[in-house]
Amino acid sequence: MMIELNNVTKVYGSRKAVDNISFSVDKGEILGFLGPNGAGKSTTMKMITGYMPPTSGSIKIAGYDIFEQALEAKKHLGYLPEVPPLYTDMTVDSYLYFVCELKGVPVNQRKDKIQEVVEEIGLTEVRKRLIRNLSKGYKQRVGLAQAIIGDPDVLVLDEPTVGLDPKQIKEIRDIIKKLGKRHTIILSTHILPEVSMVCDRVVIINKGKIVAIDKTENLSNALQNSRRYFAQIAGPYNKVTEIIKGLYGVKNVQGEEDKENGTVQLEIETSVERDIRKEMFFSLAKAGYPIMELRSLGYSLEEVFLQLTTEEEKDNESMGNIQTRA
């Protein structure tokens, strides 16, 4: 394991910001770290990077305790905070040379290392410019460049695309996916589609506790207390919906009729233990209403996130279906 948190708790006065959390990240994995404001996400990121100690529990980076073996652990760690730690009066090249010095890159390797990083992150065109004169997108790239200098095994990226325009966001995402081939990455973000597109697994934290750890598709399946289907059926709306509502296990049917094509498009919700597809096929075929399309509908990551982090009673009941595991 490249990142290991074991029973980590952080207490501020009488408030537990992080409450006995444990998870791990495998080598070569990109893990999304999600949570609403005040959930303990930023505090956890700060503890992982050694910025602040936990009240109890342990954190290891590449097998080294981040506090008891800080120097060894941090040799394996690259960090991009939400606001990149840049010296804006320096050029990109001079800043990266400075970072090489801080990270102990041998003098005879610095030129080649900077050339490699600049090409990988896409900074060739601006390497001689003052950082203060760069766009926000390029400043984020410089922040990424400083994080990967020294070839750390682990990258911790905190909101790397916040404030960027759509083109810049796509470019940074592509860079992160490319970096994931050589580094273990933990990615903190509020942009849920970003997690789906970039990450292998996701951790969702709420009120200081982990409420889910899994692949997004597995979370979607575990969360569902019902099955959902989309169906397009050739036939009149009233007749078709009457047949489907009469099937055992159907909770709800809603949709619309396309009179021009003579079809209806429906979203069908059933109890989770019932698979109505076979029975629905025969019932509709007997009535002469062919099924033109039928597919399962899963929950989006946004729906999963909202259900796991809202305070409503129905959402807490849904959380009982989630089996968290590191």
pLDDT digits (tens, 9 = 90+) for 93-123: 999 999 999 999 999 999 999 999 999 999 9
CATH tag, 225-296: 3.30.70.1150
- d(CA 310, CA 92) in angstroms, rounded, equals 43
What pLDDT was estimated at residue 277? 93
- d(CA 157, CA 64) in angstroms, rounded, equals 20
- C-alpha triplet 250, 255, 258: angle, nearest 5°: 135
> Other C-beta atoms within 10 Å of 4: how many?
19
Beta-bridged to residue 204, according to DSSP, are 34, 212
What pLDDT was estimated at residue 62? 95
What pLDDT was estimated at residue 191? 77
For the chain, 326 residues long, the average pLDDT of each consecutive 10-residue run is 96 94 94 90 93 96 96 94 92 97 94 94 95 93 94 93 83 89 90 84 93 80 74 96 95 93 94 89 96 85 77 45 46
> Other C-beta atoms within 10 Å of 68: how many?
11
What pLDDT was estimated at residue 313? 38
What pLDDT was estimated at residue 220? 66
What pLDDT was estimated at residue 304? 77
Q: Tell me the chain's radius of gyration from C-alpha atoms.
A: 25
- d(CA 40, CA 17) in angstroms, rounded, equals 5
Fold assignment, 3-221: Rossmann fold (3.40.50)
> Other C-beta atoms within 10 Å of 296: how many?
12
**Where exactly are the structural domains of the chain?**
3-221, 225-296
